[in-house]
Amino acid sequence: MQKEFLWGGAIAANQSEGAFDVANRGLANVDLIPYGEARSKFLLGENIDLELSDNYYYPSKNGIDFYHTYKQDIKMLAEMGFKAFRISIAWTRIFPKGDETEANESGLLFYESIFKECKKYEIEPIVTIAHFDCPVHLIKKIGAWRDRRMVYYYEKLCRTLFERYKDLVQYWITFNEINMILHAPFMAAGLTFSKTDDIEQIKYVAAHHELVASALAVKWAHEVNPKNKVGCMMAGGDYYPYACRPEDVMEAIDKNRKNLFFIDVQARGEYPQYALKELERKRIKIPFESGDIELLMQYTVDFVSFSYYASRVAASQNSGLKETAGNIVKSIKNPYLEVSEWGWQIDPIGLRVTLNTIWDRYQKPLFIVENGLGAVDELTDTNEVHDGYRISYLSAHIAEMIKAVEIDGVGLIGYTSWGCIDLVSAGTGEMKKRYGFIYVDQDDFSNGSKKRYKKDSFYWFKQVIESNGQNLDWKKEN
Ligand code: BG6
């Protein structure tokens, strides 16, 4: 791997910071997504309430208290040798309602302090501007991204961030998993729907607004600092055809295109023909305004980033085929793969496949910004966590990633493992679904000391970074 490869980890504001009402922070969509059975309804946004209710527990109110512990947490990441740390900005810390003319100074200071802390240890901050969050005030006022005015508010957020952190941040990601808007529209973009809404139409209109906003972010980022590098981000994982039946192959092509659609726009600069045809067939109208086509073409991203947890399977006839869980979206079960405790398929080679697909398609630097195993961990009496299963998962994925770079010639700039410190799960709201190298002592309802403990994987990942990916073995004496 190249010397400057960005090894590290990733977290998101709403799953880690907590302190949801501290220092003028406003309420965001992500704060309103409860733990428990009701969660899935809120992810979708159909007929939901936009007020906090005493009937629910809201995990993002507390996160893992990163708002107060970030110095100690970053110190531990530095001890592991992190070269990069991906975090996201809570929009409502900067603009509590979203439409203010002045930014909230205490919010700006908070992130400034995080970035300075990273710099102290020579850790490159990778900053996601919107990791699913959207101010509730803007949802109530204009219906979030369904309204074009969101572009303006987002642009304002971006310009504020680019100017303020000009000397501290160079890597920016415009929207986390932009394709998630199709599958979890309230969580991903603050969209809510009434019974009479044309949901498909609204989702694609909102996505168009995000695409325009993303292009503007590229424009401003480069204007403020030509060294800025701006990336798009997708929930990745190729679809395999279930069988070599031509119909299954065609189905897989179709599903892969649905995933890649927005990235095609952000990386190649225009709506692809297959998407235009499909939108036309479905009678979905995209509200192109004058200048949009040129803007999308002129301001494509500098790099393409993605999350990879699993590959998926597509079949032209699903009936009788077993399904299994995945990152929000279910998949047909691949008979050749094991699954995690949460039913997510485990496919290290799929990471190499996905890297090759994306590289061949865009020929732009790639960045794996999420990958990992959500698992139940046990803290021993001596405060250790023996997470050999996580080491196996990660080492197998990293080995395939290295093959993609060294054998296939894929241009990859970094790898940030998801949830490097245990945090709240986006899909389930659970704390017990842990991804970290660092154990956080708290349960699903935020009970616990919140103390941090190093897992076995902590020492293992330190060794991986130290050896620049050459030493993936795990020696127990560590
Ligand atoms: C991605 C998100 O979808 O997957 C993260 O960007 C999320 O926010 C991660 O946490 C893992 O999913 P989950 O549901 O296990 O938290």
pLDDT tens-digit readout, 249-304 = 999 999 999 999 999 999 999 999 999 999 999 999 999 999 999 999 999 999 99
Given a cut of 50, is residue 318 above it in pLDDT? yes
3-class DSSP state of 225: coil
Look at ligand 1, atom 9, and give the residue with the nearest C-alpha. Answer: 426
> What average pLDDT score do residues 191-214 get?
97
User: DSSP 3-state assignment of 128?
Assistant: strand
Rounded to the nearest whole angstrom, what is the distance from the C-alpha of residue 372 to the centroid of ligand 1? Answer: 10
φ, ψ for residue 340, nearest 5 deg: -80, 180
pLDDT at 478: 47
pTM of the model: 0.98
C-alpha radius of gyration, the chain, whole number: 21
Quick one: what percent of the chain has pLDDT higher than 90? 97
Predicted local confidence at residue 190, as pLDDT: 98
Other residues' Cβ atoms within 10 Å of the Cβ of residue 459 = 17
Percent of residues, the chain, with pLDDT higher than 70 = 99
Maximum alpha-carbon separation in the chain: 64
- Residues carrying an active site annotation: 177, 370
Distance CA 28, CA 91 (A): 8
Q: Judge whether 435 and 423 are in contact, CB under 8 Å.
A: yes
The mean pLDDT of 69-98, rounded to a whole number, is 98
Would you place residue 195 in the very low, low, confident or very high pLDDT band (cuts 50, 70, 90)?
A: very high
Side chain identity, residue 123: I
Distance, CA 12 to ligand 1 centroid (Å)?
9
Q: Round to whole Å and give the CA distance between 123 and 322.
A: 44
Q: Distances in Å between the alpha carbon of 288 and those of 137, 271, 281, 298?
A: 26, 11, 18, 15
Number of H helices, E strands in the chain: 15, 16
Give residue 205's pLDDT band: very low, low, confident or very high (50, 70, 90).
Answer: very high
426 Cα: distance to centroid of ligand 1 (angstroms): 5
pLDDT digits (tens, 9 = 90+) for 452-475: 999 999 999 999 999 999 999 997
Task: Pull the structure tokens for residue 284.
Answer: 């979905």
Which of 330, 370, 432, 435 is the pocket-test mutation for ligand 1 (most atoms within 8 Å of CB)?
370
Whether 315 contacts 241, CB under 8 Å: yes
Give me the chain's average pLDDT, please: 97
Confidence of residue 430 (pLDDT cuts 50, 70, 90): very high
Could you count the other beta carbons within 10 Å of the beta carbon of residue 50?
15
Q: Which atom of ligand 1 is nearest to the CA of 342?
A: 15
Ligand 1 centre from 246 Cα, in Å?
Answer: 33
pLDDT value at residue 336: 98
Tokens of 87: 């975090």
Q: Distance, CA 109 to ligand 1 centroid (Å)?
A: 27
**End-to-end Cα distance, the chain:** 24
| Ordered DSSP codes for 351-403 | HHHHHHHHHHHH-S-EEEEE----B-----TTS-B--HHHHHHHHHHHHHHHH
Residues 6+ away with beta carbon under 8 Å from 380: 386
Q: Predicted confidence band at 476 (pLDDT cuts at 50, 70, 90)?
A: low
Q: What pLDDT sits at residue 475?
A: 76
Atom of ligand 1 at shortest range from CA of 433? 15
Question: For residue 398, what pLDDT is reported?
Answer: 98
Residue ranges around ligand 1 (CB below 6 Å): 12, 15, 176-177, 235, 307, 327, 370, 374, 418, 425-428, 433
Token pair 């940030």: residue: 416
Residue with token string 């302190």? 19
The protein residue whose alpha carbon is closest to atom 5 in ligand 1 is 426
Measure the CA–CA gap between 115 and 108, rounded to whole angstroms: 11
Segment 147-179, tens digit of pLDDT: 999 999 999 999 999 999 999 999 999 999 999
Residue nearest to atom 8 of ligand 1 (CA): 426
Pairing relationship of beta strands 6-10 and 312-314 according to DSSP bridges: unpaired
Cβ(37)–Cβ(99) under 8 Å?
no
Tokens 């936009």 belong to: 50
Residue nearest to atom 7 of ligand 1 (CA): 426
Query: Which residue's CA is the nearest one to ligand 1's atom 14?
Result: 427
pLDDT for 187 beyond 70:
yes
- 7-21 pLDDT, tens digit each: 999 999 999 999 999
Task: Count the neighbouring beta carbons within 10 Å of the beta carbon of residue 188.
Answer: 33
Ligand 1 atom closest to 176 (CA): 6
Say how far apart CA 56 and CA 267 lie, in whole Å.
40
> Could you tell me whether strands 338-339 and 345-346 are parallel, antiparallel, or unpaired per DSSP bridges?
antiparallel
Among 307, 339, 430, the mutation site with the greatest number of ligand 1 atoms within 8 A of its Cβ is: 307
Q: Which of 76, 127, 115, 284 is nearest to 198 (CA)?
A: 284
- Residue 477: pLDDT band (50, 70, 90) is low
**pLDDT surpasses 60 at 71:** yes
Q: CA 146: distance to chain centroid?
A: 21
pLDDT grade, residue 99 (50/70/90)? very high
- What atom of ligand 1 comes closest to residue 435's alpha carbon? 15
The partner residues of 416 in beta bridges, in order of sequence, read 8
Question: What pairs with residue 85 in β-bridges?
Answer: 9, 125
pLDDT of 442 > 80? The answer is yes
Q: Could you tell me the distance, in angstroms and rounded to a whole number, from the CA of residue 416 to the centre of ligand 1?
A: 13
Residue 288 DSSP symbol: P
Please check whether residue 16 is in contact with residue 424, taking contact to mean a CB–CB distance below 8 angstroms.
Answer: yes
Ligand 1 pocket test: pick from 129, 327, 393, 432 the residue with the most ligand atoms within 8 Å of its Cβ.
327
